[in-house]
Amino acid sequence: MLTINVAVLLAIIVFFRLRRRTQARSRNEERTTAIIILALGVLLAPTAVGQGIVDILGQLASGVTQASR
């Protein structure tokens, strides 16, 4: 039996949707892409990968804040 991780599937969909030229997208397509990216974020957040991304972004934000002082 083949199982597909929903987060991986959504990441693949996002990748192919964002490869298209911006001028060729309608507002509906942009909303749909935003909803898909939001769902991907919700699926990744509780995982180790999601926590790693949050840690990296936190360190980056902290570094930018300290550099601007």
Q: Which domain, by its residues, includes 50? A: 6-67
Task: Using a cut of 0.85, tell me whether the model's pTM lies above it.
Answer: no
Distance CA 39, CA 57 (A): 19
**Is residue 1 assigned to a domain?**
no
At 2, the pLDDT band (50, 70, 90 cuts) reads low
Look at residue 12 in the predicted model and tell me its pLDDT.
87
Looking at the structure of the chain, the number of domains it has is 1
Mean pLDDT of the chain: 81
User: Is pLDDT above 60 for 1?
Assistant: no
**Is residue 27 assigned to a domain?**
yes
Q: Over 13-50, what HEC string results?
A: HHHHHHHCCHHHCCHHHHHHHHHHHHHHHHHHCCCHHH
pLDDT digits over 22-53, tens only?
676 788 888 888 888 888 888 878 888 888 88
Look at residue 3 in the predicted model and tell me its pLDDT.
60
Closest C-alpha to 32, from 17, 19, 12: 17
**Is residue 23 assigned to a domain?**
yes
